[in-house]
């Protein structure tokens, strides 16, 4: 039983009771739901590091799920909404289980819905638990799997309400899966550790039959679609309220400079969107992250963070022909994400003008808006910077190369792109969740191996050696054949790579060997052999869920922490004092097993 001191220790969880400032800012931006407590859940995962950052637990709190802590987590998040179906069918609810406050499902634009203006769309199986401020930063907290709302696609399409847990309608169940929550925790923590903005999993509450409530947190969980829904409906006041709310949060969290209300904020909104979406589109393309960007701005946060890991994958190669099949709708590809991100920015230009002038101008009029020029410049600069990073240059060397070696970078970028984008002679193939045209070369393998050869003083690789060194597990004998074109490209890759190294040495005033020594060390980490892919995350998640009853909660947290730490791609990353490997032998064996799987799936989707 929790003591009074225990209840006081975890009192900040009680602030997450459905109250949220978005309510007052955008009164027509949500649907409100009563809720009742669930008593059939148990804590399957809790993100101690994130909870400390948010001030939910003390900085010195041990990584141990005590009974009072579990009780506080369950009291805050183990709930299910009382929806329209429940009201229509007089679903019996114990008075003791009814929660005092209501919880909002927010409205936002979604392409799955009829009408395409957001009249019926938004949070279909999620609610907002609230917000919490700590250390000058405010966090939003939402939960997925808390019941089906009227904003789900099934209700929008069929025009009727659904019972939570139903299986008769796509997108109409209102539930989440345990594997979904654990997989999102693995993926989001890995990406966050490697500098990719993302919402993060705070807790996973396991429910019967493999279901769960997956609790997510972020500094600002507004999506572009939260703004676009008012834009498409010509709702000037709703749009102004949503934008002012978003801007105020960005300013208070220190992500934007202090700006007075009105035109200055709206101008910065468009410019920040241009920089942010250019950077994320370039990052996704460079790091092989598939995130279904679309015109509705639904699958991404307005600050560029990744959201909804059901439509996110990490590829091992540049599989730029992969398309996700979602109920017959085919997704964008890696290369198409740039155009979609640019379109999102064009909508932000339209928002800026609408709010500033009070009159909506057609979107096509903003096809040549200055913020799109800003987007293009930022995208190209980010792509070059990330390529230099992946080669293995440190930050200072990247900057001097970008300023003083434009020709060398362009030359290497062209030949790198040739191998990166090469596709299998087999053509398009069906995969479990869509279609793909397999990539056949791993330029990451080449960038890891080449500097070691050069530092050792070896001659350049022959075309045969080069193609074998870069060939992926998808490359057939025909794909590996040394054609005259491939032989020329293999030679050009190595010549342009050497020219880049020499340019870095010249501009930094250092010997070539010293530059190569640094590149060898850094590229080995950045281009590590056993990087995660979507397939490896799916495999790891399946194994963790399958063995959950054999691994204690403490051991499971140790496994996840060590797995994420192993995937750090930062050569300068240093583990914290409490982040050593799992001391438990069972947990250590599980981690080793999962890492072996990473190598097996390293070129996959």
pLDDT at residue 335 tops 80: yes
Both structure tokens of 493? 């890759």
Phi, psi of 391 (to 5 degrees): -60, -35
Distance, in Å, from the CA atom of 110 to the CA atom of 123, rounded to the nearest integer, reads 10
Q: Measured at the alpha carbon of residue 214, what is the angle toward residues 212 and 217, in degrees to the nearest 5? A: 170
Say whether both 156 and 11 belong to one domain.
yes
User: Of 349, 378, 407, which residue constitutes the final position of a domain?
Assistant: 378
CB 311 within 8 A of CB 299: yes
Q: pLDDT per residue over 527-550, tens digit each?
A: 999 989 999 999 999 988 888 777
Of 455-464, 470-479, 527-536, 585-594, the least confident = 585-594
Instruction: Quickly list DSSP for 454-480.
Output: HHTTPPPPPHHHHHHHHB-TT--HHHH
What is the band of 589 on the pLDDT scale with cuts at 50, 70, 90? Answer: confident
Beta strands in 145-248 (DSSP E): 176-177, 200-206, 211-218
Instruction: Give the closest residue to 155 by CA, choosing from 186, 123, 127, 193.
Output: 123
Runs of H (alpha helix) within 78-223? 84-88, 153-158, 178-193
Average pLDDT over all residues of the chain:
94
Residues forming beta bridges with residue 158, ordered by sequence position: none
- Residue 285 inside a domain? The answer is yes
Distance, in Å, from the CA atom of 143 to the CA atom of 216, rounded to the nearest integer, reads 6
Instruction: Give the closest residue to 371 by CA, choosing from 240, 259, 272.
Output: 272
Question: What is the structure's pLDDT at 423?
Answer: 96
Distance, in Å, from the CA atom of 222 to the CA atom of 106, rounded to the nearest integer, reads 10
Local structure of residue 168 (DSSP, 8 states): S
Say whether both 512 and 542 belong to one domain.
no
Residue 192's contacts (CB-CB under 8 Å, 6 or more residues apart) are: 198, 200
- Residue 224 inside a domain? The answer is no
- Residue 483 inside a domain? The answer is yes
Helix (H, G, I), strand (E, B) or coil at 55: coil
- Residue 172 inside a domain? The answer is yes
Say whether both 551 and 460 belong to one domain.
no
- Residue 303 inside a domain? The answer is yes
How many domains does the chain contain in total? Answer: 4
Domain that holds residue 290: 232-378
Query: Which one has a higher pLDDT value, 82 or 63?
Result: 82
Burial of 61 (0-12, 13-18, 19+ CB in 10 A): middle
Distance, in Å, from the CA atom of 338 to the CA atom of 262, rounded to the nearest integer, reads 29
CB 399 within 8 A of CB 290: no
Say whether both 522 and 544 belong to one domain.
no
Query: Which one has a higher pLDDT value, 160 or 328?
Result: 160
Average pLDDT over residues 72-92: 97
Distance, in Å, from the CA atom of 60 to the CA atom of 52, rounded to the nearest integer, reads 9
Question: What is the structure's pLDDT at 553?
Answer: 74
Say whether both 21 and 136 belong to one domain.
yes
In Å, how far are 274, 356, 371, 381, 573 from 375, measured between CA atoms?
5, 21, 6, 10, 30
Global pTM reads 0.95
Q: pLDDT per residue over 118-162, tens digit each?
A: 999 999 999 999 999 999 999 999 999 999 999 999 999 999 999
Question: What is the structure's pLDDT at 574?
Answer: 63
Question: What is the structure's pLDDT at 576?
Answer: 54
Query: Percent of the chain at pLDDT above 70?
Result: 97
pLDDT at residue 382 tops 90: yes
Sheet holding 323-326, edge to edge: 329-330, 323-326, 434-436, 429-431
Distance, in Å, from the CA atom of 1 to the CA atom of 68, rounded to the nearest integer, reads 7
Question: What is the structure's pLDDT at 577?
Answer: 45
Say whether both 174 and 49 belong to one domain.
yes
Question: What is the structure's pLDDT at 441?
Answer: 97
Q: pLDDT per residue over 415-442, tens digit each?
A: 999 999 999 999 999 999 999 999 999 9
Say whether both 446 and 578 belong to one domain.
no
Instruction: Give the closest residue to 267 by CA, choosing from 341, 380, 370.
Output: 370
Residues forming beta bridges with residue 216, ordered by sequence position: 142, 201
pLDDT at residue 581 tops 50: no
pLDDT at residue 580 tops 90: no
Residues forming beta bridges with residue 431, ordered by sequence position: 434
- Residue 226 inside a domain? The answer is no
Average pLDDT over residues 369-382: 98
Distance, in Å, from the CA atom of 405 to the CA atom of 540, rounded to the nearest integer, reads 42
CB atoms inside a 10 Å sphere around CB 187: 27
Say whether both 515 and 561 belong to one domain.
no
Residue 195's contacts (CB-CB under 8 Å, 6 or more residues apart) are: 570
Say whether both 81 and 98 belong to one domain.
yes
Instruction: Give the closest residue to 172 by CA, choosing from 180, 160, 189, 185.
Output: 160
Could you identify the residue written with the tokens 């003390």?
Answer: 58
Of 40-54, 102-116, 384-398, 579-593, the least confident = 579-593
Question: What is the structure's pLDDT at 558?
Answer: 81
CB 564 within 8 A of CB 593: no
Phi, psi of 533 (to 5 degrees): -135, 170
pLDDT at residue 583 tops 70: no
What is the band of 3 on the pLDDT scale with cuts at 50, 70, 90? Answer: low
CB atoms inside a 10 Å sphere around CB 453: 17
Could you identify the residue written with the tokens 């001659």?
Answer: 459
Distance, in Å, from the CA atom of 118 to the CA atom of 105, rounded to the nearest integer, reads 13
Question: What is the structure's pLDDT at 101?
Answer: 97
Average pLDDT over residues 292-318: 93
What is the band of 5 on the pLDDT scale with cuts at 50, 70, 90? Answer: low
In Å, how far are 185, 444, 471, 492 from 479, measured between CA atoms?
37, 18, 8, 19
User: Of 378, 402, 422, which residue constitutes the final position of a domain?
Assistant: 378
Of 123-127, 339-343, 552-556, 564-568, the least confident = 552-556
Average pLDDT over residues 17-30: 98
Provide the terminal-to-terminal Cα distance of the chain, rounded to the nearest Å.
47
- Residue 267 inside a domain? The answer is yes
- Residue 541 inside a domain? The answer is yes
Say whether both 328 and 242 belong to one domain.
yes
Rg over CA atoms, the chain: 25
Question: What is the structure's pLDDT at 328?
Answer: 83
User: Of 526, 542, 557, which residue constitutes the final position of a domain?
Assistant: 526
Residues forming beta bridges with residue 439, ordered by sequence position: 423
Q: pLDDT per residue over 225-250, tens digit each?
A: 999 999 999 999 999 999 999 999 99
Say whether both 297 and 401 belong to one domain.
no
Average pLDDT over residues 74-79: 98
Question: What is the structure's pLDDT at 112?
Answer: 87
Residue 510's contacts (CB-CB under 8 Å, 6 or more residues apart) are: none
Say whether both 586 and 475 belong to one domain.
no
CB atoms inside a 10 Å sphere around CB 279: 21
Burial of 190 (0-12, 13-18, 19+ CB in 10 A): buried
Helix (H, G, I), strand (E, B) or coil at 104: strand
């Amino acid at each position: 039983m929790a003591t009074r001191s225990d209840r006081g220790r975890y009192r900040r969880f009680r602030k997450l009771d459905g109250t949220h400032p978005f309510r007052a800012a955008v009164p027509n931006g949500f649907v409100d739901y009563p809720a009742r407590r669930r008593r059939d859940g148990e804590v399957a995962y809790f993100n101690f590091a994130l909870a400390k950052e948010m001030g939910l637990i003390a900085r010195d709190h041990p990584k141990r799920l005590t009974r009072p802590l579990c009780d506080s987590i369950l009291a805050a998040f183990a709930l299910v909404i009382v929806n329209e179906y429940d009201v229509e069918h007089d679903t019996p609810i114990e008075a003791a289980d009814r929660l005092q406050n209501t919880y909002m499902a927010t409205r936002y634009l979604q392409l799955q819905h009829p009408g395409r203006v957001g009249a019926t769309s938004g949070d279909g199986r999620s609610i907002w638990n609230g917000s919490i401020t700590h250390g000058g930063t405010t966090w939003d907290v939402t939960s997925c799997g808390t019941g089906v709302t009227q904003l789900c696609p099934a209700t929008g399409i069929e025009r009727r309400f659904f019972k939570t847990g139903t299986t008769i309608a796509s997108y109409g169940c209102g539930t989440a899966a345990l594997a979904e929550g654990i997989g999102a925790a693995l993926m989001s923590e890995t990406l966050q550790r490697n500098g990719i903005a993302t919402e993060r999993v705070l807790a996973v509450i396991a429910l019967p039959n493999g279901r769960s409530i997956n609790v997510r947190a972020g500094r600002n969980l507004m999506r572009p679609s939260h703004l676009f829904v008012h834009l498409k409906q010509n709702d000037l006041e709703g749009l102004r309220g949503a934008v002012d709310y978003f801007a105020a949060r960005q300013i208070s969290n220190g992500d934007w400079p202090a700006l007075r209300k009105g035109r200055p904020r709206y101008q910065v909104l468009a410019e920040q969107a241009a920089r942010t979406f250019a950077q994320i589109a370039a990052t996704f393309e460079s790091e092989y992250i598939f995130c279904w960007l679309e015109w509705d701005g639904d699958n991404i946060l307005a600050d560029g963070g990744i959201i909804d890991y059901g439509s996110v994958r990490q590829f091992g190669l540049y599989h730029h022909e992969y398309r996700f099949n979602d109920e017959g709708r085919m997704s964008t590809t890696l290369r198409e994400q740039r155009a979609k991100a640019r379109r999102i920015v064009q909508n932000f230009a339209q928002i800026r003008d609408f709010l500033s002038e009070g009159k909506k101008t057609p979107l096509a009029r903003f096809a040549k808006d200055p913020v799109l020029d800003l987007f293009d410049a930022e995208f190209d600069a980010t792509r070059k910077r990330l390529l230099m990073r992946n080669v293995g240059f440190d930050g200072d060397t990247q900057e001097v190369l970008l300023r003083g070696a434009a020709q060398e970078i362009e030359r290497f970028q062209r030949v790198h792109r040739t191998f990166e984008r090469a596709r299998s002679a087999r053509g398009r193939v069906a995969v479990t969740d869509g279609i793909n045209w397999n990539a056949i070369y791993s330029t990451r393998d080449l960038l890891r191996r080449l500097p070691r050869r050069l530092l050792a003083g070896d001659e350049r690789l022959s075309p045969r050696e080069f193609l074998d060194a870069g060939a992926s597990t998808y490359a057939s004998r025909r794909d590996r054949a040394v054609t005259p074109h491939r032989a020329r490209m293999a030679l050009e890759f190595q010549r342009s790579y050497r020219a880049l190294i020499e340019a870095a040495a010249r501009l930094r005033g250092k010997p070539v060997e010293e530059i190569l020594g640094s590149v060898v060390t850094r590229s080995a980490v950045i281009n590590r052999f056993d990087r995660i892919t979507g397939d490896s995350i799916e495999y790891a998640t399946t194994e963790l869920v399958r063995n959950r009853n054999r691994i204690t909660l403490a051991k499971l947290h140790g496994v996840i922490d060590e797995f994420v730490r192993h995937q750090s791609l930062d050569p300068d990353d240093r583990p914290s004092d409490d982040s050593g490997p799992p001391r438990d032998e069972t947990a250590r064996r599980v981690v080793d097993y999962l890492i072996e799987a990473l190598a097996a799936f390293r070129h996959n989707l």
